[in-house]
Amino acid sequence: MPKYVIEREIPGAGNLTPEQLKGISQTSCGVLDAMGPKIQWVHSYVTGDKIYCVYNAPNEEMVREHAQKGGFPANSISKVSTIIDPTTAE
């Protein structure tokens, strides 16, 4: 299944409390449950003013649908073409 990186511009994201992050996560998981097993949230990285999310989904449209239903921004959606890590150098 294709993998996507979603950039969400959320001012002050890095200052969100654990409870706020839990609430955002619960909202996301609720939308994902309603959408079915074709779209999966892998994990997210929270930075100063952005959250970068990694999702598995059959297409970009489904990623956009999740964002719309959850009320989340999806400022940029990029399909991952290849994953590399330190073992790639071997």
Q: How confident is the model at residue 63, as a pLDDT?
A: 98
What stretch of H or E contains 60?
helix 60-70
Average pLDDT over residues 47-69: 98
Q: How confident is the model at residue 32, as a pLDDT?
A: 97
Q: How confident is the model at residue 38, as a pLDDT?
A: 97
87 found inside a domain: no
75 found inside a domain: yes
The tens digit of pLDDT for each residue in 2-32 reads 999 999 999 999 999 999 999 999 999 999 9
64 found inside a domain: yes
The model carries a pTM of: 0.93
12 found inside a domain: yes
Torsion of CA 25, 32, 80, 46, to 10 degrees: -10
The total of structural domains in the chain comes to: 1
59 found inside a domain: yes
CATH number where 16 lies: 3.30.70.3090
The residue segments making up the domain with residue 49 are: 3-82
88 found inside a domain: no
Residue 49: pLDDT band by 50, 70, 90 thresholds?
Answer: very high
